[in-house]
Amino acid sequence: MTAAPTIRQVLLTCPLDCPDACRLKITIERGADGLEKAVKLTGDPDHPITRGFACAKTVHYPARQNHPERPLYPMKRVNGELTRVSWEQALDEIAAHLRDVLARRGPDAVLRYHYAGTMGLMEGHHIHGFFRALGAPELDETICSTAGTEAWRLGYGPRYGVLPEDVAHARTIVLWGINSLSTNSHLTPFMTQARKNGAKIIHVDPYLNKTGRYADTHLKLRPGTDTVLVLGVAREIMAQGWADETYIREATQGFEEFRAEAEGWTLERTAETTGLSAEQVAELARAISQDSPTYIRVGYGMTRHEGGGTALRAVTLLPAITGDWRRRGGGCTLSTSGVFHLNRSRLGAAHLIREDAKHVNMNELAGALEPSAGFEAAFIYNCNPAVVAPDSAQVIAGLQRPDLKVIVLEQAMTETARLADYVLPATTFMEHADIYTSYGHSWLGYNPAELDAPGETRPNSWVFQQLGERLGLTEPSLFWTVDDLLTEVLDTGHPFLEGITPEALKAAGTLPLKLPDGWLPYADGAPTPSGKVMFTPAPVYCPAAELNAEYPLRLLTPPAHHFLNSTYGMLGNLTRAEGTEPHILVHPADQGELVGGQLARIVSETGQAVRRVRITDEVQPGVAVVEGSWWGLSAPDGQSINAVTAQTLTDLGGGSTFHNTRVRLERAE
Ligand SMILES: Nc1nc2c(c(=O)[nH]1)N[C@H]1C(S)=C(S)[C@@H](COP(=O)(O)OP(=O)(O)OC[C@H]3O[C@@H](n4cnc5c(=O)[nH]c(N)nc54)[C@H](O)[C@@H]3O)O[C@H]1N2
Ligand SMILES: Nc1nc2c(c(=O)[nH]1)N[C@H]1C(S)=C(S)[C@@H](COP(=O)(O)OP(=O)(O)OC[C@H]3O[C@@H](n4cnc5c(=O)[nH]c(N)nc54)[C@H](O)[C@@H]3O)O[C@H]1N2
Ligand SMILES: [Mo]
């Protein structure tokens, strides 16, 4: 017998909730115990989007996967302590509880809660079918993208956009409400290429972060005023005769209504509301329409406000005024997910969704966990709501209700898992097979299971199949393998999928969709019901709840550079010993009694949290920033920043309002 090689390298698609969906090169080592482990991770140099580098967060994935506190065995809470049990016992007891709840209360008492911990079609989507077969309430997955998705749908239909490969053709790049250097870092080389070709980069964001420093110009607008900035810019473009009247006539509908709405927003009035100068507004209008093609990359930042859907809709309509959709590299991107024309009719047993199904908006979890909502079982997977959901202190209180059984499927001992009645240990993307799309490019991925599952970890899909069998469920799609699912989703006949068979995808690992060469998705209109880009209803500015003496600051809580939402918050936890912890950024004008480097209590209408203060003019007066959904465990007071955010929803899509919390700061030391 020859000795097995001790080191090998594999290529896999990153499963995390990020537009880049990178192709990762992973080094796997076989230890003296004969077990294989991932020890190093970088980007695939041959993948045209990943380009050989992994981000500052996912390079730590091996440490996360091999973390000593990773749950490897099922656990049950016994006398207050999580105690190891067998899978048989855990599954039998959970099934018995479900049977009892279903018999007494019916499926409306069973809550599922999840998000995009894995973007895999099997482990992230298809598994919801279990709950649909039970008839349990639908979870509206609104925490992140629905305000933007709905805004885009109104104007343009499905989410097509400029692909990264075309960005080098742009001459003006506007990064609008996106901290792309942190949150979409594989776009950077394409922008740098555009810059080498002469492009100028503008960042529109209420505070100065990595992206603002990278840009040529940073426009520090007042949060929640993007709609006004667009109307002012549009008015100036029209006043100067820079609008593309041909495109507007041929490809859009309802522009007169939009024009009328913009009429009142003179440069001066726009400047006054947005906090920018009239010159800055005029220059933005000039750059966008004159130094074209203009590529606008919008993120989700501006959507996390009460008027956030309208704001995003307004921004994304700019290329329909300038006609940039007709130029390569011109136009806008929110997400590229619309290009994946998969057959989703039975994905997650979608065909079982009842018209009269009850719905739970996931931003309103704190409310759903109140006794009056009537849930007796909560299944949580691919998500860490004790940290990431708004009003997290109430979420935590709800999860601790004695009359609610909480079942958490996890890869990490998150704060949510620590509150569970049952913790079920899940495999990672290296340990299970799955299929991946992307929302930042147009490559489809398939990962085989490269590593043996450590301990007794299992894929989510295995857990739900086991429970399905115990409950006597017969819906065939619940028992599909990843191969079955792959065959199903690729079976559409759509030209973008031409030649992408299950065999071809599995052999290649990743394949680009067959998009038409030089594709300009909205050059002649849009796949909306009218066939046109829709300017109606005209975006109308709706000011946010005003600041006052009690709550004089608006708090934004955008993602951190080194985390992926709360994932890697565990590492943050470890590094706290080295002095790393979440800070609140406060402008010198708002400093008052606060002392830089000392603790402040952040008080909102919802709750309180304590953070260390950093005084900086990176923020603007009246605005404070806490970056990152750090685990509460990493914070001085053990609280997630979401202890202060509210369940308030956006104007479109029932979305989250994480960047719009009125607060006051008090000295905590
Ligand atoms: N490093 C890192 N990368 C990530 C994530 C992470 O946690 N860390 N999370 C991933 C996920 S799930 C998502 S959804 C994306 C989110 O990433 P992005 O789409 O970039 O969204 P945010 O970071 O929430 O907000 C982007 C910027 O919008 C700004 N902003 C806030 N309010 C306003 C406003 O009213 N107007 C304007 N113009 N700007 C505003 C914020 O200050 C922030 O800098 O990132 C993904 N990538
Ligand atoms: N204040 C504030 N709060 C926010 C945001 C913000 O900007 N500010 N951003 C919001 C946004 S955009 C989002 S998308 C949400 C994201 O919030 P979450 O979806 O909760 O994202 P993560 O915190 O990364 O948690 C994902 C969890 O899924 C687990 N997981 C990953 N893969 C698997 C798997 O295969 N099986 C199982 N069982 N578990 C798995 C990971 O271990 C991780 O704990 O947070 C939101 N919360
Ligand atoms: Mo997100």
- pLDDT at residue 570, rounded to an integer: 63
CA separation, residue 23 to residues 38, 213, 427, 441, 568 (Å): 15, 27, 19, 12, 19
- pLDDT at residue 197, rounded to an integer: 97
Cβ within 8 Å of residue 213, ≥6 positions away: none
Q: Are residues 464 and 370 in the same domain?
A: yes
Examine the pLDDT at 576 and tell me if it is beyond 50: no
Examine the pLDDT at 3 and tell me if it is beyond 60: no
For residue 384, how far is its CA from the centre of ligand 2 (angstroms)?
5
Does a structural domain hold residue 573? yes
pLDDT in tens, 127-170: 999 999 999 999 999 999 999 999 999 999 999 999 999 999 99
Please say which residue of 23, 47, 65 terminates a domain: 65
Q: Are residues 60 and 179 in the same domain?
A: no
- 572 neighbors 562 (Cβ within 8 angstroms): yes
Does a structural domain hold residue 496? yes
Looking at residue 572, its amino acid is G
- pLDDT at residue 408, rounded to an integer: 98
Q: Are residues 104 and 245 in the same domain?
A: no
Nearest to 628 by CA among 574, 560, 571, 556: 560
Does a structural domain hold residue 535? no
Query: What's 329's domain CATH number?
Result: 3.40.228.10
Query: What's 476's domain CATH number?
Result: 3.40.50.740
Q: Are residues 307 and 381 in the same domain?
A: no
Q: Which of 119, 567, 571, 650 to mutate to test the pocket of ligand 2 (most atoms within 8 A of CB)?
A: 567
Going by the DSSP 8-state scheme, the letter that residue 646 receives in this structure is -
- 571 band by pLDDT with thresholds 50, 70 and 90: low
Query: What's 629's domain CATH number?
Result: 2.40.40.20
Q: Which listed ligand is nearest to 299 at the C-alpha?
A: 1
The mean pLDDT value for 638-651 works out to 96
Does a structural domain hold residue 534? no
Q: Is 179 in the pocket of ligand 2 (CB under 6 A)?
A: no
Looking at residue 181, its amino acid is L
Does a structural domain hold residue 339? no
Of ligand 1's listed atoms, the one at least distance from the Cα of 180 is: 20
Residue nearest to atom 39 of ligand 1 (CA): 177
Q: Are residues 126 and 154 in the same domain?
A: no
Distance, in Å, from the CA atom of 197 to the CA atom of 286, rounded to the nearest integer, reads: 19
pLDDT in tens, 438-456: 999 999 999 999 999 999 9
The mean pLDDT value for 398-404 works out to 97
Distance, in Å, from the CA atom of 218 to the CA atom of 213, rounded to the nearest integer, reads: 8
Q: Is 590 in the pocket of ligand 2 (CB under 6 A)?
A: no
pLDDT in tens, 242-265: 999 999 999 999 999 999 999 999
pLDDT in tens, 43-79: 999 999 999 999 999 999 999 999 999 999 999 999 9
Q: Are residues 183 and 50 in the same domain?
A: no
- pLDDT at residue 573, rounded to an integer: 43
pLDDT in tens, 345-383: 999 999 999 999 999 999 999 999 999 999 999 999 999
- 526 neighbors 533 (Cβ within 8 angstroms): yes
pLDDT in tens, 585-641: 999 999 999 999 999 999 999 999 999 999 999 999 999 999 877 777 778 888 999
- 382 neighbors 460 (Cβ within 8 angstroms): yes
The mean pLDDT value for 640-657 works out to 97
Examine the pLDDT at 328 and tell me if it is beyond 70: yes
pLDDT in tens, 301-316: 999 999 999 999 999 9
- pLDDT at residue 210, rounded to an integer: 97
SS3 assignment, position 395: helix
Please say which residue of 334, 367, 401 terminates a domain: 334
622-651 residues labelled b (16+ CB within 10 A) or e (exposed): bbbbbbbbbbbbbbbeebbbbbbbbbbbbb
- 578 band by pLDDT with thresholds 50, 70 and 90: very low
Q: Is 118 in the pocket of ligand 2 (CB under 6 A)?
A: yes
Please say which residue of 512, 543, 562 terminates a domain: 512
Q: Are residues 281 and 208 in the same domain?
A: yes
Examine the pLDDT at 577 and tell me if it is beyond 50: no
What residues flank ligand 1, with Cβ below 6 Å?
17-18, 57, 144, 176-179, 182-183, 204-207, 209, 221, 223-224, 226, 299-302, 304-305, 556, 558-561, 563-565, 659
Q: Which listed ligand is nearest to 221 at the C-alpha?
A: 1
SS3 for 497-560 is HCCCCHHHHHHHCEEECCCCCCCCCCCCCCCCCCCCEECCCCCCCCCCCCCCCCCCEEEECCCC
- pLDDT at residue 560, rounded to an integer: 86
Nearest to 471 by CA among 128, 74, 181, 96: 96
Q: Which listed ligand is nearest to 202 at the C-alpha?
A: 1
- pLDDT at residue 4, rounded to an integer: 58
Q: Is 334 in the pocket of ligand 2 (CB under 6 A)?
A: no
Examine the pLDDT at 575 and tell me if it is beyond 60: no
For residue 281, how far is its CA from the centre of ligand 1 (angstroms)?
23
The mean pLDDT value for 377-406 works out to 97
Does a structural domain hold residue 60? yes
For residue 566, how far is its CA from the centre of ligand 1 (angstroms)?
14
Residue nearest to atom 47 of ligand 2 (CA): 388
Q: Are residues 54 and 193 in the same domain?
A: no
Of ligand 1's listed atoms, the one at least distance from the Cα of 629 is: 7
What is the value of pTM for the model shown? Answer: 0.97
For residue 638, how far is its CA from the centre of ligand 1 (angstroms)?
24
Cβ within 8 Å of residue 210, ≥6 positions away: 179, 181, 182, 561
Does a structural domain hold residue 295? yes
* Domain containing residue 139: 75-143+348-512
Looking at residue 38, its amino acid is A
Q: Are residues 659 and 568 in the same domain?
A: yes
Taking the alpha carbons of 469, 491, 125, 358 in that order, is the dihedral positive or negative?
negative
- 360 neighbors 138 (Cβ within 8 angstroms): yes
Q: Are residues 404 and 303 in the same domain?
A: no
What is the domain count for the chain?
Answer: 4
Q: Are residues 506 and 566 in the same domain?
A: no
Query: What's 59's domain CATH number?
Result: 3.30.200.210
- 568 band by pLDDT with thresholds 50, 70 and 90: confident
- pLDDT at residue 468, rounded to an integer: 98
Q: Which listed ligand is nearest to 115 at the C-alpha?
A: 2
Helical segments of 108-187, H only: 129-134, 146-156, 180-183
For residue 142, how far is its CA from the centre of ligand 3 (angstroms)?
9
Does a structural domain hold residue 465? yes
Nearest to 506 by CA among 488, 526, 487, 525: 487
Q: Are residues 436 and 502 in the same domain?
A: yes
71 preceded by cis ω (within 30°)?
Answer: no
